[in-house]
Amino acid sequence: MLMTMRGLTAAARAICYACALAGDLGARPGHSLSGVDWKARAELLTPVAKAFATDIAFDVASLGVQVHGGMGYIEETGAAQVLRDSRISSIYEGTNGVQAIDLVTRKLPMHGGAHVRAYIGELRLLAERARAENRPDFGRMGACLSDALDDLTAATNHILALLDGGKAAEALCGATPYLRLFGLAAGGAYLAKGALASVGEVDAASGLRIATARFFAERLLPECGALRKTIVEGAEAVLVADSALLRG
């Protein structure tokens, strides 16, 4: 549980940092520095930074109560207060459901989907580098990250095809799981980047970065496969349920 808390927090923080950097670079004149449209990058990452980070904030705070045992519910530990306070964060920014809708309907189609595909391509380079390290302490980090990015690519292509075909309702059925899939895959890639930067270092912090990235890749990224299946195959169930609710 502690490693899950650490991994999710570090992944969310990395996405927020990447979004902030893109925003700063995008505000400069000639914001296509280094061949990247940083203004578009900031727009793409903003709903993910807001919604993924605040969703996992509540998850992490809930685990924080759990690791205290029964004492987690006692006010003197502070864990219960953190859990209550974190709940509002997913509502403050327009609710995370709205952020997911924004990601799917406005941000993915930018430049005909070319920008999001280029971004995923950048993340793939990190997966390839992690796989090439072939270090025992990296475990299956590179392979798991590559699988997660395959899931993200498949889900992205599916949603863009639905939007191109005028099937916005079907695309929106997968909006929330897509945002989580995006956040997990991107977060895993950024943790791998930190692990790669730690190669050759012998301090405890570097070892912990590698261990966290490996844990995230091998224990949390497998969720991406289930999310992809939900996105690609789950629209009809949502639409049928919607009709049933209206009749009821």
Residue with tokens 């690609």: 232
End-to-end CA distance of the chain: 41
Q: Tokens representing 127?
A: 């997966």
Q: Which of 43, 75, 76, 93 is catalytic?
A: 93
Is 128 an annotated catalytic residue? no
Per residue, the 3-state secondary structure of the chain, as one string, reads CHHHHHHHHHHHHHHHHHHHHHHHHHCCCCCCHHHCCHHHHHHHHHHHHHHHHHHHHHHHHHHHHHHCHHHHHCHHHCHHHHHHHHHCHHHHCCCHHHHHHHHHHHHCCHHHHHHHHHHHHHHHHHHHHHHHHCCHHHCCHHHHHHHHHHHHHHHHHHHHHHHHCCCHHHHHHCHHHHHHHHHHHHHHHHHHHHHHHHCCCCCHHHHHHHHHHHHHHHHHCCHHHHHHHHHHHCHHHHHHHHHHHHHC
**Cα–Cα distance, 194 to 24 (Å, whole number):** 21
**Cα–Cα distance, 23 to 136 (Å, whole number):** 37
| Residue 124: alpha-carbon gap to chain centroid | 15
Residues marked active site are found at 93
